[in-house]
Amino acid sequence: MARTPDVHICEVAMRDGLQNLDVFVPTDAKCALIDAIVAAGVGEIDAGSFVPPKVVPQFADVDAVMAHAVQHKGATIGALVPNFKGAERAIAAGVGAIYFVISASESHNLANVRRTIEEQLDGFRAVRAALDVLPVQNRPRLMGAIATAFGCSIEGEIKETAVGRLARGFAEAGVDEIGLADTVGYGTPGLIKDIVRVTRHEVGAKMPLRLHLHDTLGAGLANAVAGLDAGIRRFDAAVSGLGGCPFAPGARGNVVTEDLVFMLERMGLSTGIDLDRLMKTREILARHIAPKHLTGHLHEAGIPKALRSAA
């Protein structure tokens, strides 16, 4: 049996990466991307959002994409949901993980899901209750995603207490994992450590924590290292650095999966991911997505041959 990787990476290009694009990526290309990402050894994929097609047209085909994705038994297939209805659809699709999003910023939460944080927590409790009546083997893992945890394009600085309060709300409502999302990419290494510490203080050391980083100001990898220093071993990332929130103007792409994998492996931390295979996803993306959206240091620099086998 393959050993458990030191660092768990969830690939989010299929969701965060596609939600902000102005082109519709055809369903078969989305499925091919998922296949390529799984083939590269990625253990978890955020494969789309169960939102109204009117809100994010890119996910009009999410039922078909998920029906394909969940056939992969070697990877956890997850979906973002903004409300109870989204969770019902995700459960019906047979996903293995549900990411329920609430922003630490009240203004961003209102813009994103048209509800207050408290109303959104009520929705989360209803989702928890609906999951708890499912047989354990059919019960998706429920992650509470805290958007704008490190800053907000509308409110600016977000108080540590606001993140802590929301984390505690999620924990008290029975979340399985908490994701701390730098939705707009204003985080700095010091802030990452502070927010992780505050969150741990609120929810206890046993709660799994995950970091979701954007590279808006070029600090994505530095923030990932700060997360590692703070004990985080679960990260979201997107191939070719895709990503951005339609309700967070100014957000740039996610931390680039290829770059993150290379860095981690060079640091001696295994990811279980075959970097050469992962790099090939660029070819599928490039058929449908304009070059300006595709970033990544490794793609620009290439991997020096001497380092390739080590990575």
Partner whose footprint covers residue 266, from ligand COA, Zn ion, none (CB < 5 to 8 Å by kind): none
245 belongs to the binding site for ligand COA (CB under 6 A)? yes
Under DSSP, the state recorded for 3 is P
| CA-to-CA separations, 81 to 86, 109, 188, 253, 268, in angstroms, rounded | 5, 13, 27, 20, 35
Residue 53 Cβ vs ligand COA, minimum distance, rounded to whole Å? 7
238 belongs to the binding site for ligand COA (CB under 6 A)? no
Query: Residues, the chain, total?
Result: 311
- Tell me the C-alpha distance between 155 and 248, whole Å: 11
16 belongs to the binding site for Zn ion (CB under 5 A)? yes
Torsions phi, psi for 17 (to 5 deg) = -70, -35
The 8 Å CB, 24+ separation contacts for 23-28 are 23/288, 23/289, 23/290, 24/57, 24/58, 24/60, 25/58, 25/288, 25/289, 26/288, 27/61, 27/64, 27/65
Q: Residues 10, 31, 152, 245: which is the catalytic one?
A: 245
Q: Quick one: tokens of 41?
A: 């050894």
* C-beta neighbour count of 92 within 10 angstroms: 11
Has 245 been annotated as catalytic? yes
3-class DSSP state for residue 152?
Answer: strand
Among 33, 66, 95, 101, contact with ligand COA (rule: CB under 6 A): 101
123 belongs to the binding site for ligand COA (CB under 6 A)? no
Residue 268 Cβ vs ligand COA, minimum distance, rounded to whole Å? 33
Among 55, 110, 171, 207, contact with ligand COA (rule: CB under 6 A): 55
**Which residues have a Cβ under 8 Å from the Cβ of 77 and sit 6 or more positions away?**
34, 44, 45, 47, 66, 69, 70, 95, 96, 97
Partner whose footprint covers residue 216, from ligand COA, Zn ion, none (CB < 5 to 8 Å by kind): none
**For ligand COA, which stretch binds (CB under 6 A), given 37-45, 75-83, 131-139, 299-307?**
75-83
Among 14, 51, 191, 203, contact with ligand COA (rule: CB under 6 A): 51
228 belongs to the binding site for ligand COA (CB under 6 A)? no
19 belongs to the binding site for ligand COA (CB under 6 A)? yes
Contact set for ligand COA, span 249-268 (CB under 6 A): none
281 CB-contact burial (10 Å; exposed 0-12 / middle 13-18 / buried 19+): buried
Among 36, 49, 76, 78, contact with ligand COA (rule: CB under 6 A): 49
- The separation between CA 158 and the C-alpha centre of its own chain, rounded to angstroms, equals 20
Looking at the Cβ atoms of 128 and 227, the one nearer to Zn ion is 227
- Closest residue to Zn ion, based on beta-carbon distance: 16
- Tell me the C-alpha distance between 73 and 32, whole Å: 16
Looking at the Cβ atoms of 60 and 207, the one nearer to ligand COA is 60
Torsions phi, psi for 150 (to 5 deg) = -120, 20
Residue 123 Cβ vs ligand COA, minimum distance, rounded to whole Å? 9
- Interaction site with ligand COA (CB under 6 A): 19, 49-52, 55-56, 80, 82-83, 85-86, 89, 101, 112-114, 147, 245-247
Active site residues: 245
Q: Site residues (CB under 5 A) for Zn ion?
A: 16
